[in-house]
Amino acid sequence: MKIFKPFEVIREELEKAEECSRELLNSNVRFVLSAGGYILDSGGKRVRPGLTIISGKLVGAPLEKLIPVATVMEYMHTATLLHDDIVDGAKLRRGKPSANEVFGNDVAVLAGDYMFAKAIYVLAIYGGDEVLKVAAKTVQDMAEGELLQLEKIGNVNLTEDEYFDVIYRKTASLLSACCEIGGIVGKAEKEERNALRDYGKFIGYAFQLIDDAFDYISNEKTIGKPAGNDIREGKVTYPLLSALKKATKIEKEEISKVLSTVEPTREQIEFVRQFAIEKGGVEETIKLARNYIERAKEILKIFPESSLRRALFEIADFIVERTY
């Protein structure tokens, strides 16, 4: 198993979580195994279980509870990927055909439902009431985030507060939950639990900001999906949101027209992309992501220096240094 460098410190635990993942995906329904297994096997750094394990170990969580809990945090993530690709009509995921493209929308959505249900069941057994409350609220947040984003499609008057509400629910809530849940399993003190929760939230914000920037400056080969996809789907993300502050009335109207077009042309997408870049939107997005990373690292200083704390610092740094 190839290990994401910051996770070397928990290699043994992460390998156990990988074994646990296969054991839990034991449905006798073939489609669950094939669709769920397909996306679990499609790569990824196992960031969610890794964060859960490190956060739990930081406060002395027992491994017999921590491993299964961490394992199903990846199930929750996998379920959202299955559902998101259907909503977005995505044909690619991490550079290969998406599960909905391979198995069809009906199988993909039901496999996603199964993985959510399995996660909640395992969390109830190994995590208890407090873990279950955090996880259930997170599932609610993620669903609301997707619906909220759909509601805001094409809206050039989107505010920063509305944007951050969407990305908290869509992305940051799950990373935050992983860290907080690790802390709960380890019976963390209130201050420790809050610090882990906020660390997850801040790196979640940074992760999504960098993703949004990549949509303006990367290509399909590096990010595994078509560049300009957010523009094509009418989404106002931070690079454009920031740039729109400097837009003239005519520019704003033109951009609104592109975002409201069902199938914008390549030229229209390129116009919006170049506008955001030239007005400094991408630069501002990356700068803000770096700011959140510094806040995330600062909040962890309540914990003593250790290899586990250093690993969380490395994960935070990777988020803004990655090129994909």
Residue 205 near residue 295, CB atoms below 8 Å: no
Q: In the prediction, which pLDDT does 40 show?
A: 77
Contact (Cβ atoms closer than 8 angstroms) between residue 60 and residue 186: yes
Residue 225 has pLDDT above 70, yes or no: no
pLDDT digits (tens, 9 = 90+) for 262-289: 999 999 999 999 999 999 999 999 999 9
Split into its structural domains, the chain has a count of 1
Residue 113 CA: distances (Å) to CA of 6, 76, 88, 119, 139: 31, 9, 17, 10, 11
Rounded percentage of the chain residues whose pLDDT exceeds 90: 74
- What's the pLDDT score for residue 281? 97
Q: What mean pLDDT is reported for the chain?
A: 92
* 223 has a pLDDT exceeding 60: no
* Whether the predicted pLDDT of 142 surpasses 80: yes
Question: Residue range 141-166: average pLDDT?
Answer: 95
Q: Which residues contact 303 (CB under 8 A, 6 or more apart)?
A: 58, 192, 195, 309
pLDDT value of position 256: 97
Per-residue pLDDT reduced to its tens digit, 187-219? 999 999 999 999 999 999 999 999 999 999 976
Average pLDDT of the segment spanning 4-25: 92
> 110 or 52: which carries more pLDDT confidence?
52
Residue that the structure tokens 């809990």 belong to: 69
The predicted structure's pLDDT at residue 323: 58
Highest mean pLDDT, choosing among 87-91, 109-113, 294-298: 294-298
Spatial contact of 285 and 238, defined as CB atoms under 8 Å apart: yes
The residue written with tokens 């997170």 in the block is 138
Q: What residue numbers bound the domain in which 278 lies?
A: 5-321
Identity of residue 305: E
85-89, 191-195, 302-306: range with lowest mean pLDDT: 85-89
3-state secondary structure 112-135: HHHHHHHHHHHHHHHCHHHHHHHH
Contact 85, 93 (CB under 8 A): yes
What average pLDDT does the segment 140-146 reach?
Answer: 94
Does 86 have pLDDT greater than 60? yes
| Half-sphere exposure (Cβ direction) of 90: Cα atoms closer than 13 Å | 24
DSSP single-letter state for residue 5: G
Is 101's pLDDT higher than 90?
A: no
pLDDT of 93 over the 90 cut: no
Higher pLDDT, 108 or 281: 281
pLDDT band at 104 (very low <50, low <70, confident <90, very high): confident
279: CATH: 1.10.600.10
Q: Which residue has the tokens 């070397």?
A: 8
For every residue of 239-303, DSSP letters joined together read HHHHHHTT--HHHHHHHHHHHH-SS--HHHHHHHHHHHHHTTHHHHHHHHHHHHHHHHHHHGGGS
- Of 63, 59, 76, residue with least CA distance to 122: 76
